[in-house]
């Protein structure tokens, strides 16, 4: 299935979304702030990014 990166600074919500995606058979990766998300995108080349717009360090828009 798809490789999906979940970017959310609230750990409980990030874990919930990633766990659900894994239960559906996807390869879910997690990042908790903007800079870590950029590193994960460059390294793993996900098929989809589920992104919170209000992140510490770098927002999800710019």
Q: Where are the domains of the chain?
A: 3-44
Taking residues 9-20, what's their average pLDDT? 98
Contacts of 12 (CB under 8 A, 6+ apart): none
Q: What is the mean pLDDT of the chain?
A: 94
* Predicted TM-score of the model (pTM): 0.91
Residue 12 pLDDT > 80: yes
| 37: number of Cβ within 10 Å | 25
Residue 61 — pLDDT band, cuts 50, 70, 90? Answer: confident
User: Pick from 52, 30, 22, 21: which is nearest to 61 by CA?
Assistant: 52
Per-residue pLDDT, 57:
78
Residue 18 — pLDDT band, cuts 50, 70, 90? Answer: very high
């Amino acid at each position: 299935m798809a490789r999906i990166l979940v970017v959310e600074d609230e750990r409980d919500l990030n874990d919930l979304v990633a766990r659900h995606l894994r239960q559906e058979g996807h390869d879910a990766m997690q990042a908790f702030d903007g800079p870590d998300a950029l590193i994960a995108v460059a390294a793993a080349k996900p098929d989809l990014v589920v992104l919170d717009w209000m992140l510490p360090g770098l927002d999800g828009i710019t």
